[in-house]
Amino acid sequence: MDGETSGLYRRFAEFEARGSSSCYELWALGIASDPELVGLIDQLPLEKRQPNLVLTAARFLGVGEVSFAEFRAWVGRHWDALVPEILTRRTQTNEVGRASVLLPVLAQLPGPLALIEVGASAGLCLYPDLFSYRYDDRIALDPIGGVSDVELRCATTGEPPVPGRLPEVVWRAGVDLNPLDVTDTEQMRWLEYLVWPGQPERLQRLRAAVTIAQRQPVGIKAGDLNETVAELVSAAPAEATVVVFHSAVLAYLSVEERDRFERMVRGLRCHWVSNEGCSVIGSIAERLPVPASETPGRFVVALDGVPLGYAGAHGQSLDWFAPALAW
């Protein structure tokens, strides 16, 4: 089989799940080679066929970390219940680990900072100043109050400009089509199931980040990013450096919507920090040292449209290729 959906699941297995979740790799490879399951998934709207959404919805409704044969049988028995769950949910992962690849960029900007996250979900990535960081097990950064319950580990190459201290953040805001409420037990349960099986460390730091967000809540505005970001930038304090940032968000927009967003954000009183798949933003892809087609499954961190380094999808690695930033 080499159809579009089959290829989607095979690429997910080989370039995203492999080495990160053996369960998801097994299931996705099985689906890619199963005409019946591919046929069921093809009945879903195109934007709802993504592996992370389908597999998470199945786990959310009760399937365990089982063999593919058992998974296939479960899906067959529960497909009618699975469909509405898929149709009403979104892959709002809120992976706080990505803060470790954004920090070297954020900390080089003149402070204090006003942060605006696009596609913020529950807003957990809006607290980079309250996390602890460990780069290559040799550089340790902690908040002023001491070691955070959210500890992020990142392997690096190429000497990224890891700061000596965390940035000062004085204002936080976000926008999402469907903001999640950190006080809503059911919504947080969905967020937990978006963590892939076999990754207990991701689940632990997600729960710790939720606790931080519950203590210091941030308003996440419901709306379309292209209609809302300018309003948030205008609301940010004038004395702060405004930073609009996003991770793994623009891939869900059409090419036209991505281009519109880029034009819009470049015209605002802010810096723009992006962390997306290498081929997602065309103007950035054109400036990469290696063609995007040769780096499947990797992200690229960029500042104001200038690519700086390759990042692991969950913030586990940062391969810096740009000169150190200077301000």
Separation CA 44–CA 87 (nearest Å): 8
Model confidence at 324, pLDDT cuts 50, 70, 90, reads low
Q: List the one residue out of 139, 137, 151, 162 whose CA is nearest residue 212.
A: 151
Q: Is the pLDDT of residue 153 over 60?
A: yes
Average pLDDT of 169-182? 94
Residue type, 164: G
Q: Is the pLDDT of residue 8 over 60?
A: yes
Q: Is the pLDDT of residue 297 over 90?
A: no
Question: Mind listing the pLDDT tens digit for each residue in 266-288?
Answer: 999 999 999 999 999 999 999 99
Strand arrangement of the beta sheet that strand 139-141 belongs to: 139-141, 132-135, 151-157, 317-320, 306-311, 299-303, 271-277, 241-247, 113-118, 169-176, 220-222
pLDDT of the residue at 61: 97
pLDDT of the residue at 3: 80
Which secondary-structure segment (H or E) carries 69?
helix 68-88
Q: What is the mean pLDDT of the chain?
A: 93
pLDDT of the residue at 325: 61
Q: List the one residue out of 84, 38, 42, 30 whose CA is nearest residue 61.
A: 84
Average pLDDT of 70-95? 93
Q: Is the pLDDT of residue 213 over 50?
A: yes
pLDDT of the residue at 1: 41
Considering the four listed CATH numbers 3.30.70, 1.10.10, 1.10.3470, 3.40.50, the one that applies to the domain covering 96-320 is: 3.40.50
DSSP letter (8 states) at residue 25:
H
Which residue is listed with tokens 């199963």?
A: 34
What are the extents of the domains in the chain? 4-88, 96-320
* Three-class DSSP category at 48: helix
CB 275 within 8 A of CB 105: no
CB 160 within 8 A of CB 315: no
Alpha-carbon Rg for the chain, nearest whole angstrom, is: 19
pLDDT of the residue at 20: 87
CB 127 within 8 A of CB 212: yes
Q: Is the pLDDT of residue 188 over 90?
A: yes
* Three-class DSSP category at 114: strand
Which secondary-structure segment (H or E) carries 7?
helix 4-11
Which positions ≥6 away from 185 have C-beta within 8 Å? none
